[in-house]
Structure 1
Amino acid sequence: MNISTNHDQRIQVPDLHKLTISEAERKLKELDLDFKVLDSASYNPDYPKRSVIEQTPDGGDFVKEKRKIYLTLNPSKYADKTIPNLNGRTKRQAISELKAIGFIVGTNYTYVKDIGKDVVRGLRHKGKILNENDKLPKNSIIELVLGDGNE
């Protein structure tokens, strides 16, 4: 019986972090390794868009030829988040909710004539008025429009 298990053959997996998918594919093919792209990463601004953000097995591990390396790619941007209806909420409530969703709350508040002091009367992003259910990428800066307490 001639059975081959490649028992002693070991290939060191290269570190593929921050490589594009085509660069990673070229490196793996040179080593006779296969790959599969997994689909479940959160955007990481420290990595180039659509580059390898995670791999299994890790770079430096040893595997047999034809072993499949699982790659997770960095999305091209943060996931979009939905703007909630914050009209009538206090400034503190609005800031907490927006931060919990993943937005950054700016500190340049706009005040409008309203009986309620620091009550949310609108939201803006880059000067544009936001409406409930609009979508913005996570980490977008949202400015609050607040009542001045003087009617």
Structure 2
Amino acid sequence: MNFFRFIFTKTFWIQVVIAALVTVVLCFAYLFWLDWYTNHDQKIEVPDLEKLTLTEVREQLKDLDLRSKIIDSTSYNPAFKPRTVIEQDPLAGKFVKENRQIYIKVNASGYEKVLVPNLIYKTKRLAIPTLEALGFKIGEITYKPNIAENTVLEMRYKNKKLEPGTQLRKTSTIDLVLADGKNPSARIDVSDNE
């Protein structure tokens, strides 16, 4: 029997119909399984985690069958409490499926520490902007007798002498002791005038 005669037989067309039915059934079975496996139509609304502590985040996400992962601990932001959530991805109000990971950024526990530069015998005009650029605050400015007017003689922190290279947190207040421009060794000799 040649091939062209076989295609017009009843047996061939029965086999084609059976193959088509099996293909359709397998496609529908696969689509049903895929919907079940990917939790199609399941929606969990992502809660607002901003300003929550890590413990509160874990509890809230556990109740919703979601997970959290810290992706960054940002530099300290005073608008948020230390060790609380600053950002999250996906954002609050978005819909996700169960067991989805929510990525969070956490506020640092405090301002980072910065090295105090050596500003001894530098001018006031240089010292103040340098300290402010590093994030320090300038506190009380006092003067001591020294001929080098407006140069830094000492830096103080909480009434203690501050050595260059010490680490302090940003926003710490540093007091400056400057030279007043008077020569401490110059004395007025009254006996010469008499």
Give the TM-score taking structure 2 as reference length: 0.73
- Greater CA deviation, 116-125 or 52-61? 52-61
Q: How many residues align?
A: 150
Q: What is the alpha-carbon distance in structure 1 between the residues aligned to residue 123 and residue 106 of structure 2?
A: 39
1:56 and 2:89 equivalent? Answer: yes
Deviations 1:4-50 (A, max 9, x none): 22232221111111111111101011111111112331112222221
1:82 is matched by which residue type in structure 2? L
Deviations 1:49-76 (A, max 9, x none): 2111221112122222211111122222
> What is residue 127 of structure 1 aligned with on the other side?
159
Percent identity (aligned): 49
Write out aligned runs for 1:1-151 (5 A): 1=30, 2-3=33-34, 4-106=37-139, 108-151=140-183
Show structure 1 runs of 4+ deviating over 4 A.
none
**Structure 2 alignment gaps of length 5 or more:** 1-29, 184-194
Aligned-residue offset at 1:88 = 1.5
1:48 is matched by which residue type in structure 2? K
> What is residue 10 of structure 2 aligned with on the other side?
none
More helix, by proportion:
2
Aligned-residue offset at 1:77 = 1.2
2:156 is matched by which residue type in structure 1? R
> What is residue 23 of structure 2 aligned with on the other side?
none
Q: What is the alpha-carbon distance in structure 1 between the residues aligned to residue 81 and residue 138 of structure 2?
A: 26
Q: Secondary structure at the match of 1:93?
A: helix
Q: CA RMSD in A?
A: 1.3
User: Radius of gyration: which is bigger?
Assistant: 2
More strand, by proportion:
1
**Structure 1 alignment gaps of length 5 or more:** none
